[in-house]
């Protein structure tokens, strides 16, 4: 159902089950898949794809040009997955040719009011972004991350799985998986135990990760030596993921 006050570009591909509310504007080669709902006063632009069963609240703007002064109207895109809740005044921009050419947002995410996902971001699944959480360009966010309100992530940073970013936090470097980061310039404040328990991590797995955290971030050892000790003394998929994330970091790790 398309409200008579909505403006929909002839080039757009809109599934017959999609609901487009009053005063929405759909401009360009937009694709909106089945059962998604645009409540009212929403703008969707450019080569933007919105997946199934998404609910988008008033005054959200999706697929606008990237906020990048080098952008010259190249054909770039935004791809939003399935089952996402996108609240009021959320903005998501298309990618740039200097990045991957596309901004991607996964499935089952809850993006609260005034949050921003900039050009070329890669956002995973089951993520919560509280009010005014902001991702600069080229940020990569793994699954099941929670951003509290009024936090900001610097461009090119990576956030690992199951991390928790506290409110009013500025993130200038990568945040390893399973950790809590907080502060005006983010520092690590231990393991995200509550989040891990909620996601079914066993006591043994949490205990191993706590030990790895102490070796990595609460000892006086160099990072390379800490990683070597962890590889020798600890095992498991989550330990391996933590070690690989830190070893592959290009911006450096919040500590």
One digit per residue, the tens of pLDDT, for the chain of length 255 reads: 999 999 999 999 999 999 999 999 999 999 999 999 999 999 999 999 999 999 999 999 999 999 999 999 999 999 999 999 999 999 999 999 999 899 999 999 999 999 999 999 999 999 999 999 999 999 999 999 999 999 999 999 999 999 999 999 999 999 999 999 999 999 999 999 999 999 999 999 999 999 999 999 999 899 999 999 999 999 999 999 999 999 999 999 999
Q: What are phi and psi of 233, to 5 degrees?
A: -105, -20
Phi-psi region of 114 (alpha: psi -120 to 50; beta: other; left: phi over 0): left
pLDDT value at position 205?
97
Say how far apart CA 18 and CA 36 lie, in whole Å: 5
DSSP secondary structure of 163-215: -EE-TT-EE-SBB-TTEEEETTTTEEEEE-HHHHHHTT--HHHHHHHHHHHHH
Cα 27-82-111 angle, rounded to 5 deg: 80
pLDDT value at position 63?
98
What is the residue whose two structure tokens read 């947002």? 105
pLDDT value at position 201?
98
Strand partners, 20: 2, 38
User: Where do runs of H (alpha helix) occur along the chain?
Assistant: 193-198, 203-217, 223-233, 237-248
Structural domains in the chain, CATH included, are 7-141 (2.160.10.10), 197-248 (1.20.1180.10)
pLDDT value at position 254?
97
What is the residue whose two structure tokens read 């070690």? 243
pTM for the predicted model, two decimal places: 0.97
- CA distances in angstroms from 117 to 10, 43, 155, 165, listed in the order given: 27, 15, 11, 16
Indicate the Cα dihedral angle 76, 135, 33, 43, nearest 10°: -80
pLDDT value at position 31?
98
Q: Give catalytic residues, as residue numbers.
A: 119-120, 137
């Amino acid at each position: 159902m398309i409200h008579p006050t909505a403006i929909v570009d002839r080039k757009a591909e809109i599934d017959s089950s999609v609901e487009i509310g009053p005063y929405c504007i759909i401009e360009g080669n937009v694709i909106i898949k089945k059962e998604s709902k645009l409540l009212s006063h929403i703008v969707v632009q450019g080569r933007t794809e919105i997946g199934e069963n998404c609910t988008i609240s008033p005054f959200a703007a999706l697929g606008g040009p990237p906020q990048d002064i080098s952008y010259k109207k190249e054909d770039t895109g935004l791809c939003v997955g399935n089952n996402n809740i996108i609240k009021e005044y959320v903005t998501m921009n298309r990618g740039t040719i200097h990045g991957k050419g596309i901004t991607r947002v996964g499935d089952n995410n809850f993006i609260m009011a005034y949050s921003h996902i900039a050009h070329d971001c890669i956002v995973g699944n089951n993520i919560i972004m509280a009010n005014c959480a902001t991702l600069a360009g080229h940020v990569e966010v793994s699954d099941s991350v929670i951003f509290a309100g009024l936090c900001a992530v610097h461009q090119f940073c990576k956030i690992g799985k199951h991390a928790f970013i506290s409110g009013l936090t500025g993130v200038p470097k990568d945040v390893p998986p399973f950790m809590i980061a907080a502060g005006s310039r983010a520092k690590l404040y231990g393991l995200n135990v509550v989040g891990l328990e909620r996601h079914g991590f066993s006591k043994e797995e949490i205990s191993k990760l706590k030990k790895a955290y102490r070796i990595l971030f609460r000892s006086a050892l160099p990072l390379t030596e800490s990683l070597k000790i962890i590889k020798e003394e600890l095992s498991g998929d989550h330990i391996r993921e933590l070690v690989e994330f830190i070893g592959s970091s290009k911006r450096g790790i919040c500590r």
